[in-house]
Structure 1
Amino acid sequence: MPASFAFYCSGHGFGHATRVSAVSLELLRAGHAVTVVTNAPEIPFASILPPTALPAAARDIANPGPKSSPLPRHAEYRKRNIDAGIVQPKAYDVDRQATYEVLDGFLATREQTLKEEIAWLEEAGIDAVLSDATFLGCAAAQRAGLPAIIISNFTFDSCYSYLSHPALPSREPGVLQPEPPLDHSILHPLVEQTIADYSSASLLLRLPGVIPIPAFDTDVPMPSGRWVNEERTAFTPEVEAILSRPVHTIPAAAQGRHVVDVPLIVRAPSPDANTPAFRSALLRSMGVPDYLLDSKVLLVSFGGQAIPRPRTRPPTPLSSPLTRRTKSQLSSASLEPPQDELREAGLLPKGWIAIVTGLSGGDNAIRDDLPYGFFASEKDVYVPDLTWIADCVLGKLGYGTCSETLSCRTPFIYVPRPLFVEEFGLKRLMHARGASLELSRVDFEAGRWELHIEEAYELGRAAKEEARRVGFEDERAGEVIRCEIERFLAEWER
């Protein structure tokens, strides 16, 4: 029986929108109705909206991906302020105080927003609410007497709670010290409200890269700063045990709520992305000259982050020497500089070029000041195609980048985001399933990338070459998730 879904989607970052689009696509193909409720713009949802829903100029940069068979019906788009999100001055920074103020202001209007959403859910004849990963959508569903399903690897309550955890001070000279943590007593009531709202959900479809979900893992210690070790490198053994236990033993199961682990939601590359002709045409479209077409490719995926321009200076060693791997672990000699040699790593190794994503039109200051060997992708370039042809990716630990580098088996260098507790789950995923290395923020901003790129390439080269031999392998997460949703609704209606 076809159902009508309200899909509440966080407007924070691109990853939520791409996941919602992928799941919605499967629901629409199966004959269900979907209305996306979000404060994000329409563009990331172009693949599921009617062709006439966006102006022509917006459709040109909508990044639609490979062509598929026409949908029997399209999703509707409903823009509402249903999410507080996180305030980020940079791709890997969080403004604690501004984030608190936005969350506090959002919760101050919570009751009025809920009234509006409940009235709309009833008027629209919605059968169930899906959430990635807004707490307000779950609360509105419960008050309207509807089931709510969370589809995510994290919930924002843990991110807000983490803002009371002090960041490690930098030991690098001249680097700004981190912003002081927020007072837990002030933050706690807001976090508790978000946890209570998430607890309205009856089903959690848990994506890989998961961290504890306080609304379901009700025995996890709070605040979430207690989840990580003193070095801020990994979860504590207690939290590792919580994440590793069978889902039927999660405390929420005793209350009749359920957790199901599902595959990675991934945007597949174009069907012919693995051909030399496709690779050459894609690189040429971004201005790469013919004499550089055989270069190895670094994909820089930061969304508008300035590219450093190292200047001539006395040689200095890397601030974070490459001691992660021994010579016996590499197919070539160790990439760590000899101890008696002081050298400064540059941006790119010899024989490499870089493609930079996330830059706006021709008047963009970053686009106009790219170093030699760097080329800007256009906004309509389908990023999974770039991830497939790339020999290495440099970016932040976001769900979309992690899932696409894993599925394309492309080595990944990440710059840590110290105030995102979600990162620890994604780091855990990447270390378990992919080839990934950390690049310190200091080395990133100074342009000391070269040796890290060489090391990551060596670490993941064999897997990447194998992927190019066998082609892209789809985990069909959308289909799995649709079946789980349909199974849950059938049981709910009994």
Structure 2
Amino acid sequence: MQMEQSIAHGVEVIAPKRHLVFAYYVSGHGFGHATRVVEVVRHLILAGHDVHMVTGAPDFVFTSEIQSPRLLFRKVVLDCGAVQADALTVDPIASLEKYSQMSVLPRASVLATEIQWLNSIKADLVISDVVPIACRAAADAGIRSVCVTNFSWDFIYAEYVMVAGSHYRSVLQQIAEDYSHSEFVIRLPGYSPMPAFRGVIDVPLVVRRLHKSREEVRKDLGVPDDVKLVIFNFGGQVCGASDNQELPPNFIKLAKDVYTPDLIAASDCMLGKIGYGTVSEAMAYKLPFIFIRRDYFNEEPYLREMLENYQGGVEMARRDMLSGCWIPYLERAVNLKPCYEGGTNGGELAAHILQDTAVGKNCVLDKQTKVRRLLDVMVPGCQPQKVPGNDILVPDWHTLAENKLGLHN
């Protein structure tokens, strides 16, 4: 294949001569999906391809890292994720109702619109993180699709059905059926069971790169190097302080578009909720993480086990967080020595896999698919939907969680 060279962001890139068009659907749930998508998209753009983002996330999430005319935005949201009253409170019934209103009841019109749009941009590949109906739309348009994620919404919503009632099971069945139309899932570390997918390729952590040094960040903030710095990070939830509110002298209100990876690398610990973006970047930059559990979000135990495996996590009781009893947790956290030494180039590897898939190459999938004992484990014990004949691997941290947390089949 002919290759061409280009320079982008000071990096020399050798890209395939063929120009590709990607349609990247991003979940409407929070900022975490959008922030991890950034690194994958950056490598696709560097390789000379066009990427159409289908997202409701603010543009700055992407443009803070990528400035290119090849990055295009379409403001459409086709799922809702988990509906939250605040950073820690999920409403299971409202989540299922909203998803039904967005993607189940208007399904025919949504599919017709997406098929027409995908054909209009001449998409070579549809990528989803992790919007279910995007996979079905791609299949109906005659385009291959791939998901990039550490969890799937059928797994998350299965527990919600236990609360909301069995009449919502059809929502799970539809989500699982939609996912089954994708070629495979590029599976990120900290993954939960995803039995709807036909195949799996594992990659290392997907994390955003740093723009500034620790010294530069602290200088900008006016924080001396010998002062302990804590990030209060709850995944896109707005700061409670108004613009004209006077804060205590040791509190700094950051702009909504602040580049979080730089702050993580310049800090001594982080206080927040567990999600893929915060956990992966805390691990990559060896930042101790004080976390508060959420109810009804079963991605969390798998990420928590991974975080604690690498000695990077301290759990804080919610009542202590709300009452301001933070000091014991801060003292424990700053003495941790996070020890993750694994790869952080998952975004680059995922981009290569996506390019190969777009040009019709068959990627080598994980075929070790005979272990079925824990495929459908929920936390605790609820069955997500599964497309018959599909298998997934049981993650290492799932086995740890089973022993440590009492998970069961």
TM-score tier by shorter-chain length is 0.7 to 0.9
Alpha-carbon distance in structure 2 between the residues aligned to 1:112 and 1:304: 31
Structure 1 match to 2:270: 393
The equivalent of 2:164 in structure 1 is: 182
SS in 2 for 1:375: coil
Aligned amino acid, residue 483 of structure 1: H
Question: In structure 2, what residue type is equivalent to 1:31?
Answer: G
Show the counterpart of 2:403: none
Match of 2:26 in 1: 9
Contact 1:97 1:182 in 2 (8 A): yes
Contact 1:161 1:187 in 2 (8 A): no
- Measure, in 2, the Cα distance between the counterparts of 1:303 and 1:9: 16
1:423 aligns with 2:300: yes
Look up the match of 1:191. Answer: 172
CA contact (8 A) 2:268 2:334 kept: yes
Matching residue of 1:283? 221
Aligned residues: 345
1:301 is matched with 233
**Any unmatched runs of 5+ in structure 1?**
47-63, 166-180, 217-251, 253-257, 306-357, 468-472
Q: Give me the whole-angstrom Cα distance separating, in 2, the residues matched to 1:424 and 1:156.
A: 15
Q: CA deviation at 1:108?
A: 0.3
Letter in 2 for 1:96: P
Give how far 1:447 is off: 0.8
Q: 2-side partners of 1:5 and 1:128: how far apart? A: 5
2:213 to 244, 266, 273: 273
Q: Within 2, Cα distance between the matches of 1:84 and 1:303?
A: 15
Give the counterpart letter for 1:103 in structure 2. Y
Structure 1 residue 446 and structure 2 residue 386: aligned? no
Partner of 2:15: none
| 1:154–1:211 Cα contact (<8 Å) kept | yes
Work out the CA distance in 2 between the residues paired with 1:76 and 1:433.
37
**Amino acid in structure 2 at the alignment position of 1:78:** R
CA deviation string 1:326-350 (max 9, x = no partner): xxxxxxxxxxxxxxxxxxxxxxxxx
Aligned residues of 1:38 and 1:78 also touching (Cα < 8 A):
yes
Aligned to 1:363: 242
Q: Which residue does 2:347 correspond to in 1?
A: 478
Aligned-pair CA distance for 1:13: 0.8
The answer to whether the 8 A contact 1:303-1:359 is kept is: no
8 Å CA contact 1:392, 1:410 repeated in 2: yes
- 1:261 CA displacement: 0.3
* 1: CA distance, partners of 2:194 / 2:362: 26
Cα shift at 1:88: 0.4
For 1:412, the aligned partner's letter is F
How far the C-alpha of 1:188 sits from its partner, in A, is: 0.8
Q: In the alignment, is the contact (CA less than 8 A) between 2:261 and 2:281 conserved in 1?
A: yes
User: 1:80, 1:386 → 2: CA distance?
Assistant: 30
- Any runs of at least 4 consecutive aligned residues in structure 1 with deviations exceeding 3 A, and if so which? 369-372, 489-494
CA shift in 2, pair 1:117/1:162, >3 Å: same
Report the TM-score when normalising by structure 1.
Answer: 0.65
**Unaligned stretches of 5+ in structure 2?**
1-17, 364-409
* 1:222-269 deviation per Cα after TM superposition (whole angstroms, max 9, x unaligned): xxxxxxxxxxxxxxxxxxxxxxxxxxxxxx3xxxxx210011111122
Is contact 2:32-2:235 (8 Å) kept?
A: no
Q: Which has the larger radius of gyration?
A: 1
Q: How many Å separate the matches in 1 of 2:48 and 2:119? A: 21
C-alpha distance in 1 between matches for 2:178 and 2:247? 45
* Aligned residue type for 2:85: P
